[in-house]
Amino acid sequence: MPGLSDTAATNKLFEVLVGTPQLAQSLNIDLGPLIDISGVAATGSGRKVVGAFLNADLDVDEITAHARGAVEIDPDVETIFEIGGQDSKYISISNTHPLDFDMNKVCAAGTGSFLHDLANRYGINIVDEFQRIALSSENPVRLADRCTVFIESDLEAYHQKGISKTDLIAGLCYAIVYNYLNRVVGKRKIGKKLMFLGGPSLNKAVVAAFENVLGRELLVPRHREVLGAYGAAIIAQEKRHNRSVATRFMGLDAVANDKMHYIEKTCRTNTGCTNQCKLKIYDFSGRKRIWGGECGRYESAGDNKGIKENYFEQWQKIWQTHTEGICETLEKKPLMEVDGRPTVGMQRALYGFQTSVLWADFFDRLGFRLVLTRPTDSRISSHGTEIMEGETCYPVKISHGHIRELAGNVKFLFIPSIINMKTPQGSGYYCPMIQS
């Protein structure tokens, strides 16, 4: 990295662990006797677990880490596209600092792991063979780009029609691009200097697809697959310069020989909660850490730092205020009529959370009574899974369970096809499963 001295990256190790972490052992063998580690930072979606295991000095969120690393490479960068293994990110930079960002953590389409899984399915080496095949295509197919289910379905359909593997893989690259631009970027501004980061940015075919669609060149720097880690390391270095404190890191040899165990436990802190979160309780040689809860109650039980504001309860109170007297909840008995008004059933899932107040008022003025299903529980979840004939995401499966609860228990069923909803950024398109 020209122009860099104290912040130059001297070594990197990028491994796909697949549940068998060997990174510490590899680092200890290769670098242990050669380096003196003065600080450790963790970043990425697993930074809390990894940071606790390493006794890291700090953990850095992914947005901050990627922005810091990118600015160190090019201070004039204005926009960052980052596609990781489990999620994708858009970051807008102004005066070397993050100004705006968005993350797609819900849909797996377009992520590195999705690309890797499909490459394995077709027997293609993701490292070099994938890009070579895609770049040789002259007629890439146009695949659905909004959902993994539809992308996979289109690939299979085209494959059965005899479309060449070359055109299928090239089409997949374009699907990745359109999925990212539609789901993550949307109508957000793309600056003049655009940097592409993450594992898929190593794939020349994906880079070429982005450049063809956008009609411009992308910056793809060295170390782009680990630039978040690079940015986190710089932040750790800066903090050490500002505060003369010893690192908490125990050393590569100690980490390589450390033991990690974990058990899973269903959270029972709140008996009224139906989430049934699967908590992972880690033990790092006597240092216990807990992750996996949606609300943090289990982790903070008995701790004065527990949650002081319950925004779910506040939202529920606001909702009840606006729906009192015009909306009912379907329990065990059918509700064909309430106060002489025929009932209209709607699921308490997907769009039901956002729009139930609107529809309750709408149907009340028409002389009907809106009836919602009860909050999702194990019965609704299992019913939805049982009746699904195709493979979909879990929220869509659950919604089928809600509809099944309503069928035959209300006078009318209301299942609207909602295309989009206004958001602060403009129109927000719903998933095709909801649109249809």
Q: How far apart are the first and last CA of the chain?
A: 50
Q: Which residues pair with 415 in a beta bridge?
A: none
Q: Which residue has the higher pLDDT, 47 or 70?
A: 70
Q: Which of 240, 228, 226, 193 is nearest to 58 (CA)?
A: 240
Mean pLDDT confidence for 279-284: 83
Are 1-74+221-258 and 78-220 in the same CATH fold? Answer: yes
What fold, for 1-74+221-258?
Answer: Nucleotidyltransferase; domain 5 (3.30.420)
Structure confidence at residue 264 (pLDDT): 86
Q: What is the pTM of this model?
A: 0.68
Helix axes 112-121, 165-180, angle to 10 degrees: 170
Joined tokens for residue 337: 């009529």
Structure confidence at residue 16 (pLDDT): 63
Joined tokens for residue 38: 């003065």
% the chain with pLDDT above 70: 87
Residue 57 has pLDDT above 70, yes or no: yes
Structure confidence at residue 17 (pLDDT): 58
What fold, for 78-220?
Answer: Nucleotidyltransferase; domain 5 (3.30.420)
Q: What is the pLDDT of residues 320-346, one digit of tens each?
A: 888 899 999 998 889 999 999 999 999
- Average confidence score pLDDT of the chain: 83
Residue 418 has pLDDT above 90, yes or no: no
Residues found in the chain:
436
Residue 56 has pLDDT above 70, yes or no: yes
Structure confidence at residue 434 (pLDDT): 77
Structure confidence at residue 426 (pLDDT): 64
For residue 93, the one-letter residue type is: I
* 95-109, 110-124, 159-173: which is most confident: 159-173
- The whole-angstrom separation of Cα 172 and Cα 145 is 9
Q: What is the pLDDT of residues 106-147, one digit of tens each?
A: 666 667 788 888 888 888 888 889 999 999 999 999 987 667
Residue ranges per structural domain of the chain: 1-74+221-258, 78-220, 259-300, 323-435
Structure confidence at residue 21 (pLDDT): 56
Residue 184 per-residue DSSP state: I
Residue 221 has pLDDT above 90, yes or no: yes
Count other Cβ atoms within 10 Å, centred on residue 78. Answer: 17
One-character DSSP codes across 107-172: --TTSHHHHHHHHHHTT--TTTHHHHHHHT-SS------S-HHHHHHHHHHHHHTT--HHHHHHHH
Kindly tell me the sign of the dihedral angle through the C-alpha atoms of 377, 379, 384, 386: positive
Residue 287 has pLDDT above 80, yes or no: no
